[in-house]
Structure 1
Amino acid sequence: MNKALEGLKMVIGKEAKEVSPSPYGAWLNGKLLAVEEGHLEMEFTVRKEWANPSGMIHGGIYAGIMDDVIGMTSYTLGREHFYAAVNLNVDFLRPSQVGEKLIVKCQVIRPGKSVLHLECQIFGEDGKLKAKAASNLAKTAFGFA
């Protein structure tokens, strides 16, 4: 039984500020839409504090969202150890405006024992790809608190 996955399934539809053990994840405040082993989908709403001076989302927020969702997706595997990102390769493809809803989809591509490889995509309300990332995560000596 995958206790991590079962725990995540119990919070589908809830905002992260209510349930996330991560202060950063709670601040981002995404809503979990769907989760399966190796796959996760979330929704985020672009907030004013995420915008750059032009009024569009700051690229660092796209990267931060994907990094956080990648970490959550690695957790769906139910492994005993924590996996930490060793890289994050991001492509910024389209801007997003304050108030816009974003759908983030992430999947484990290679579930190795010591290194995981994941890919993540952010889509706008219109279904167009806004940003994408790939990341490798390495097994650490740490477990989960």
Structure 2
Amino acid sequence: MGRTRTYDWEDPGITAAAVGHRSGLDLLRDVRAGLLPRPPIAASLDFTLDVVEHGRAEFSLLPGEEHYNPIGSVHGGVYATLLDSAAGCAVHTTLPAGTGYTSVDLSVKFLRRITVDTGRVRAIGRVLSGGRRTALAEATLVDAEDRLLAHATSTCLLFPLGPAEG
């Protein structure tokens, strides 16, 4: 009666070691092309990086029962992970080599429930404002008919990477 799911991932240290040695846009293009491993969280939740452009990143996920909370819909943490990934990677696409970032905050508004019947969802991240020390990004989570399911804003801290970090 139980259900199972197995998945594989590659060494995340390979991609982490490449951060800082090239622009954020080039790094994410290499991840999307399969030249660098995708992060393990993408394998865990089974989402993909579909679009990478300067100031924009888009992920997609086909909701499954493995994403459910106890009340029979996709857990809010899955929403937040997709939105955080889209917003953060949108910021990452704007960074030159030698610059890193980390999320300072993520504010999420849940607007509609997601179930297996929803179909594929997309998280679309866009940079709203970029500075020398911080960047502001937003992400929207939409269904196949572009209905808004959730919205998020994120502030990211930008910092120079030292030789040991990048």
Q: The residue matched to 1:19 in structure 2 has which SS?
A: coil
Tell me how far apart the structure 2 counterparts of residues 49 and 92 of structure 1 sit (CA, whole Å). 19
Aligned to 1:114: 133
* Structure 2, unaligned runs of 5 or more: 1-21
Q: Deviations over 1:100-121 (max 9, x none)?
A: 2101111000011100000000
Q: How many corresponding residue pairs?
A: 140
Larger radius of gyration: 2
Q: 1:5·1:77 contact (CA, 8 Å) conserved in 2?
A: yes
1:52 and 2:69 equivalent?
Answer: yes
Aligned to 1:43: 60
1:105 and 2:156 equivalent?
Answer: no
Change (3 A) 1:11 1:141: closer
Task: Report runs of 4+ in structure 1 exceeding 4 Å deviation.
Answer: 10-14, 141-145
Q: 2:135·2:155 contact (CA, 8 Å) conserved in 1?
A: yes
Q: 1:12·1:33 contact (CA, 8 Å) conserved in 2?
A: yes
The CA deviation at 1:142 is 4.2
Tell me how far apart the structure 2 counterparts of residues 137 and 75 of structure 1 sit (CA, whole Å). 9
Tell me how far apart the structure 1 counterparts of residues 95 and 31 of structure 2 sit (CA, whole Å). 16
* Structure 1, unaligned runs of 5 or more: none
Tell me how far apart the structure 2 counterparts of residues 71 and 131 of structure 1 sit (CA, whole Å). 16
Q: The residue matched to 1:82 in structure 2 has which SS?
A: strand
Q: The residue matched to 2:89 in structure 1 has which SS?
A: helix
Q: The residue matched to 2:95 in structure 1 has which SS?
A: coil
The CA deviation at 1:86 is 1.1
Amino acid at match of 1:112: G
1:131 and 2:150 equivalent?
Answer: yes
Q: 1:34·1:41 contact (CA, 8 Å) conserved in 2?
A: yes
1:72 and 2:89 equivalent?
Answer: yes
- Percent of aligned pairs with the same amino acid: 28
The CA deviation at 1:12 is 4.3
Q: 1:122·1:132 contact (CA, 8 Å) conserved in 2?
A: yes
Change (3 A) 1:139 1:8: closer
